[in-house]
Amino acid sequence: PTLWDVVVIGGGAAGIAVAASILKRKPHLSVAIVEPSDRHFYQPAWTLVGGGCFNPANTCKATSKLIPNGAKWLRSRVTEMEPTHNRVTLEDGQSLNYQFLVVAPGLELNLGAIEGLESSLGKHGVTSNYLFELASYTWECVRNLQRGRALFTQPPMPIKCAGAPQKAMYLSCHHWEETGTLGNIDVQFHNAGAVLFGVADFVPPLMEYVKRYNANLNFNSTLIAVDGPAREATFRRTNGDGTSTDHTEPFDMLHVVPPQRAPQFVRDSELANEAGWVAVDEATLQHPRFANVFSLGDACGASNAKTAAAVRKQAPVVAENLCAVLENRAPTARYEGYGACPLTVEKGKVVLAEFGYQGKLQPSFPLDPTVPRRSMWWLKRHAMPKIYFELMLKGHEWLARPGKL
């Protein structure tokens, strides 16, 4: 059509889920999903791939198989958004006009922000679970390391799945513990931030594992450069008085979580907030100035934890509110900031951290959420991928009914 009812930018977790939820409510709308990639990734399992507990091939599906019935996949990339003209431009110069826009292109890994990182990744023991191609290399590095020094890094917030940097460390340490080599390995966690986990309730159980694995925590310590062939990493430590000092450490294995930011076309647009993410009302996920624009997923500027779990609750909220505005009603559905981080503290046990805005706990089960459990490992390893592909991406809103405003 020359005028789409809805244009969705991105066919990742958020784009597919929200398109399915909208079409469930209004099957006759014309919905376009703009997505450049023919492969769709279930990223939450990459942590398990890095720990040798998940087949990487099962984290990837053909985009064509996931596009909801009734939606049209436009295989392209958005380069510009002009919300005052209700128009987006694609990379081939073509433009799309819309009645409603949903912005869900995820976030961008800023590999270039760390000197020497791009040329080192995938060799010299330098790896990252944040890249599909490298999650299995993490497992190779872990298996090959018998003695020496292993460094795990966490960049400044916000990042997707804030627990993933330490999950990589716990699963690696558990393997070394099982094979009897942990005592020969100096494990260091370098965190640009000042706390182990943003929600204080979960810090004590995590500290138990830090102690058990004899891992060293370095706070306010940001990776700034990597020299792969020399196997050296440089960190900048911010001191209490605002000054900083750089120091270089040798390593045998380096697991890097790259700094993350909104995609450039979002940062450059009128829709962005000061930090570059898509500005939204925290409750309705509607843009504060453009009533026909919504956003969800990692690109969205709400202050929730950037996770697929958040998307599961956000998609019905956006669908509900978009349909309300379409019918000239005010938005009715409220998002409470839900996000979840299944912390894989050992192979076979997970601390399921579920929380909303301001770190308010939102457990789905009537159990103490701070206890590591086998049941939650089962949920993460076996149930979550099914919930993702079979429910969330198909617009089945089981356990995800939105609250009312």
Which CB atom, from 60 or from 330, has the smaller least distance to ligand FAD?
A: 60
**Distance between CA atoms of 103 and 118, rounded to whole angstroms?**
28
What is the Cβ-side half-sphere exposure of residue 273, based on CA atoms within 13 angstroms?
A: 17
Rule CB under 6 A: which of 265-304 touch ligand FAD? 265, 297-299
Q: Does 83 bind ligand FAD (CB under 6 A)?
A: no
Cβ partners under 8 Å of residue 163, min gap 6: 197, 341, 342, 343, 353
Size of the site for ligand FAD (CB under 6 A): 37
Least gap, CB of 244 to ligand FAD (angstroms):
28
Contacts of ligand FAD in 221-250 (CB under 6 A) = none
| Nearest-5° Cα angle at 369, 364 to 370 | 165
Catalytic residue (one of 53, 141, 161, 173): 161
Least distance from ligand FAD to the Cβ atom of residue 340, Å? 6
From the number of C-beta atoms within 10 Å of its C-beta (0-12, 13-18, 19+), residue 66 rates as buried
Min dist. Cβ of residue 128 to ligand FAD (A): 8
Closest residue to ligand FAD, judged by C-beta, is 12
Distinct helix (H) and strand (E) counts, the chain: 11, 23
Question: Would residue 341 show up in a list of annotated catalytic residues for this protein?
Answer: yes
Nearer to ligand FAD (CB atom), residue 63 or residue 231: 63
Helical axes 203-212 vs 164-178, angle rounded to 10°: 30
Residues forming beta bridges with residue 395, ordered by sequence position: none
User: How large is the angle between the packed helices 164-178 and 132-144, nearest 10 degrees?
Assistant: 30
Taking residues 339 to 378 in sequence order and writing x for each that binds ligand FAD by CB under 6 A, - otherwise, the string is -x-x------------------------------------
Residue corresponding to tokens 């453009």: 290
Q: Is 256 in the site for ligand FAD (CB under 6 A)?
A: no
**Contact footprint for ligand FAD (CB under 6 A):** 9-15, 34-37, 43-44, 46-47, 77-78, 104-106, 129-130, 160-161, 164, 263, 265, 297-299, 306-309, 311, 340, 342
Residues serving a catalytic function are 161, 341
